[in-house]
Amino acid sequence: MQFTPYLNFDGNCAEAFAFYKELFKGTITFQSTFGEIPDGPPIPPEHHHRIMHISLTVGEQTIMGSDTMPGADVCAGGYAKPQGLWVSIGADSVEEGRRIFDALEKGGESSMPFQETFWSPGFGSVIDRFGTPWMVNCTPP
């Protein structure tokens, strides 16, 4: 069994995933816009650039995402800020955890600064500039 985070955005999915690709040193394995849907529902031309689906592979892990349609009800695929969840990252070292945390924090908002805790040599939580909540947790030596 595998669990894959699926992130939603309000028009900046491509920008977010380009950032995540560089930050996590991954590969975008699939990307399609709403304008590329064959025989799909009518999409206003000003929204053709929005991401219908994107997949980023980092090692053996995958994270996916898409943009939502402006004005759509949340129950019908509209955007809502993430709440009640965090995407947790397990870094192999404090240095790697600090690098990831600092990059996610730039333009975002830290809810717990990156620091040593009783369970980890490095932990911090942050909502990045795209609105995605992350926890960075370093593996104890």
The CATH number of the domain holding residue 52 is: 3.30.720.100
Name the pTM for this structure.
0.91
For residue 48, give every residue at least 6 positions away whose Cβ sits within 8 Å of its Cβ, in sequence order, or none. Answer: 33, 34, 35
Domains: count for the chain: 2
Sign of CA dihedral 65, 76, 68, 34: positive
Q: Is residue 58 part of a domain?
A: yes
**Tokens, residue 9:** 């955005």
| pLDDT tens-digit readout, 26-52 | 999 999 999 998 877 778 888 899 999
pLDDT of residue 133: 97
**Residue 89: which domain range?**
84-141
Asked whether residue 62 falls in the same domain as residue 3, the answer is yes
Asked whether residue 20 falls in the same domain as residue 60, the answer is yes
